[in-house]
């Protein structure tokens, strides 16, 4: 069964204080060459039948992402890819 | 006047909101999120809390509750709606108000008494205040940072739709110190701090919150007397 993956990210112009907090913690791991961290959300949708990208787009636009502050990206993940991942 | 207070799973301040309505002199009608009927209420309060556990985004799932679909229709028809804290988040998610509320810039939950300046008395929920009046009510939020694009912010300011600002310290990083906004008609108001917690000497830092609830009663009385199409503006 194929899954549709929706990646939701804050728009570049929206401040991401969570990402900043993570970036600020990295030097404590000895990591000093990271200039920016941004945190988003990955959502996996399984359809009962064939994956429906248009339907997924509608779900993402109406519920999964808030277009005021977030962008989203949709792709189909087939089983082979899923197992490797 | 019948003022509905909606309870979502995870609502926290619905009891206090209903109490504030009663203290102001209204009749509080408890509404259930799963019931599309508004039970002939004249106005609605969406209370604070963590509807649906704040899953996905604050207010994102509450927006699709059967009660909300009726409230969105009624609000577009002019019914006064006040969203407090999580209620404000729900109003933004439902596109009744522009912009969005995001994680506090400093990432801390902020819980304190907060001074606000009322910027506009021309709404159904602020008509008993005067513009420029300073009030003190509690603020308590983790995701209260108001954001919108610059064009939207400019329009809100130009149209007098920023109705309260944080003063003496911005608790969450909200753009332009915005604490409360209204829609174009003035019947829908979203406010991040909690007027319903400032209606009695015993429990609040002041009685300043009461004005929001007496305002809507006055707006409704004026609307029924004058037969106005909507209860916003005064």
> pLDDT, tens digit, for every residue of B146-176?
999 999 999 999 999 999 999 999 999 999 9
B106: closest chain A residue by CA: A17
Instruction: Give the mean pLDDT of chain B.
Output: 95
Q: Are A14 and B102 an interchain contact pair (Cβ–Cβ within 8 Å)?
A: yes
Nearest C-alpha of chain A: how many angstroms from B11? 20
Global pTM value:
0.91
**Residue A12 near chain B (CB below 8 Å):** no
Nearest C-alpha of chain B: how many angstroms from A21? 8
**Residue A85 near chain B (CB below 8 Å):** no
Q: Are A69 and B93 an interchain contact pair (Cβ–Cβ within 8 Å)?
A: no
pLDDT range class, residue B224, cuts 50, 70, 90: confident
Q: Kindly report, residue by residue over B61-88, the tens digit of the pLDDT.
A: 999 999 999 999 999 999 999 999 999 9
Q: Are A21 and B99 an interchain contact pair (Cβ–Cβ within 8 Å)?
A: no
pLDDT at A81: 55
pLDDT at B104: 95
Task: Please list the active-site residues of B.
Answer: 85, 194, 196
Q: Which residue has the higher pLDDT, B51 or B232?
A: B51
Per cent of chain B over pLDDT 70 is: 96
CA B27/CA A60 separation, integer angstroms? 40
Which residues in chain B touch residue A18, judged by CB atoms under 8 angstroms apart? 103, 107
Q: Are A17 and B93 an interchain contact pair (Cβ–Cβ within 8 Å)?
A: no
């Amino acid at each position: 069964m194929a899954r549709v993956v929706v990646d939701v990210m804050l728009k570049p112009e929206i401040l991401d204080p969570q990402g900043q907090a993570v970036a600020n913690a990295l030097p404590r791991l000895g990591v000093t060459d990271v200039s920016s961290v941004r945190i988003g959300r990955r959502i996996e949708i399984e359809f009962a039948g064939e994956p429906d990208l248009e339907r997924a787009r509608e779900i993402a636009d109406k519920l999964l992402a808030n277009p005021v502050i977030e962008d989203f990206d949709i792709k189909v993940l087939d089983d082979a890819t899923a197992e490797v991942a | 006047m019948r003022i509905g207070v909606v309870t979502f799973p995870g609502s926290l301040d619905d009891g206090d909101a209903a109490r504030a309505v009663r203290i102001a002199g209204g009749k509080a009608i408890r509404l259930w999120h799963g019931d599309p009927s508004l039970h002939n209420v004249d106005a609605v309060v969406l209370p604070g809390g963590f509807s649906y556990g704040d899953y996905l985004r604050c207010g994102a799932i509450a927006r699709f509750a059967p009660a909300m679909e009726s409230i969105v229709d009624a609000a577009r028809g002019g019914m006064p709606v006040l969203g407090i804290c999580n209620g404000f988040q729900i109003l933004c998610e439902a596109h009744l108000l522009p912009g969005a509320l995001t994680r506090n810039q400093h990432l801390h939950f902020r819980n304190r008494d907060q001074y606000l300046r009322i910027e506009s008395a021309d709404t159904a929920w602020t008509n008993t205040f005067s513009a420029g009046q300073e009030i003190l009510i509690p603020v308590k939020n983790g995701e209260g940072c108001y954001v919108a694009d610059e064009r939207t912010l400019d329009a809100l300011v130009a149209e007098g739709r920023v109705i309260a600002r944080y003063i003496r310290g911005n608790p969450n990083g909200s753009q332009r110190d915005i604490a409360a906004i209204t829609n174009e008609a003035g019947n829908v108001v979203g406010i991040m701090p909690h007027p319903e917690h400032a209606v009695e000497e015993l429990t609040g830092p002041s009685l300043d919150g009461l004005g929001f609830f007496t305002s809507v009663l006055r707006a409704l009385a004026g609307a029924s007397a004058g037969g106005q199409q909507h209860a916003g503006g005064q």
